[in-house]
Amino acid sequence: MTGQCQAGTFLSGPPLQQRQVSKTACLSVFTEKGEHSINTSPEYARQAIERSLTRLGTSYVDLYYLHRLDKVTPIEKTMAALGELKQAGKIRHIGLSECSSTALRRAHAVEPAACVQIEYSAFSLDIETPQYDLLSTCRELGIAVVAYSPLGWGMLGGAIRSMSALSKPGDMRAALVPRFFKENLDANVALVDKLSEIAGRKGVTTAQPALAWLLAQGDDIFPIPGTRNPERLAENLGAMQVTLTAEEEKAIRLLADNVAGSREGVILKDYYFGDSPPLENA
């Protein structure tokens, strides 16, 4: 919500500034009071977009995400409501996040999904596995993959080497994400050291081969690294110029086999690769 207010201030700037930014919003998982709540009902979809448009100070968003599935609303009903918002000109495209491949197929049959936002990085290859079948489903249906946390929540940037790097006020990783728990951190730092060795041999930063690896997985993969630092933003964009050899690609892929701890955060742990109840039960 704070992010949308800040984006709204930015978007109220000059027209050129407005044209360069794609406006996105999502059916939020947090209420106005910051409490955890997932609601994908048609009614909430209609209310939430109005609040987002007000905060962003715009009449439409380019991409409206269904951030998590609420396990109560059949996905067909949510997508039909989002289709109406599209017809009304309030959203241009629909995205889903952390959905199962079955839910994605059902959603896409009602309204086209433009993309799926899902964790994908050299530390998180779940979407490639037959168990989840999400990457192959996206490819079959022509849906882009927006790779969230492409630096493994920061781990693959190489700057996190001990628990003290996670101790700033507001940094919840050590408390919520198992890969950052004390018992797992050293093993994961040792894996990042292997990435840093590859980066060192190429004369690039640790983050760059991690992002280049993702970009090499296909033209349909769009990594969205997060940073508050303009220099790192430039560094991350520089990953587009980094080419990996087949051996480097293979070595980076092998890192995921040995990652200690789950990628699944404690709060939303029941909502990964989320399914949706059958339509006939509604």
Task: Output helix, strand, coil percentages for the chain, rounded to the nearest 5.
Answer: 50, 15, 35
Residue keyed to tokens 């997060």: 226
Q: Are 223 and 214 in contact (CB under 8 A)?
A: yes
Q: Which is nearer to ligand NAP, 74 or 265 (CB)?
A: 265
Residue keyed to tokens 């999502």: 26
Assigned token pair, 153: 């929540």
Q: Does 39 bind ligand NAP (CB under 6 A)?
A: no
Q: Does 235 bind ligand NAP (CB under 6 A)?
A: yes
Count the Cβ atoms, other than its own, within 10 Å of residue 62: 15
Q: Per-residue string for binding with ligand NAP, 190-209, x by CB under 6 A? A: -----------------x--
Q: Does 73 bind ligand NAP (CB under 6 A)?
A: no
Q: Smallest gap, in angstroms, from Cβ of residue 239 to ligand NAP?
A: 8
Q: Which is nearer to ligand NAP, 20 or 87 (CB)?
A: 20
Q: Does 227 bind ligand NAP (CB under 6 A)?
A: yes
d(CA 153, CA 123): 10
Q: Smallest gap, in angstroms, from Cβ of residue 105 to ligand NAP?
A: 19
Q: Does 229 bind ligand NAP (CB under 6 A)?
A: yes
Q: Does 152 bind ligand NAP (CB under 6 A)?
A: yes
Rg (CA), the chain: 19
d(CA 30, CA 132): 26
Q: Which is nearer to ligand NAP, 74 or 150 (CB)?
A: 150
Q: Which of residues 236-265 bind ligand NAP (CB under 6 A)?
A: 236
Q: Does 228 bind ligand NAP (CB under 6 A)?
A: yes
Q: Which residue is nearest to ligand NAP (CB)?
A: 157
Q: Smallest gap, in angstroms, from Cβ of residue 235 to ligand NAP?
A: 4
Q: Which is nearer to ligand NAP, 51 or 84 (CB)?
A: 51
Assigned token pair, 162: 């001990």
- The DSSP H or E segment spanning 10 is helix 2-11
Q: Are 236 and 29 in contact (CB under 8 A)?
A: no
Bridge partners of 118, per DSSP, are 147
User: Which residues of this chain interact with ligand NAP, rule CB under 6 A?
Assistant: 67, 97-98, 117, 148-154, 157, 159, 207, 224-229, 232, 235-236
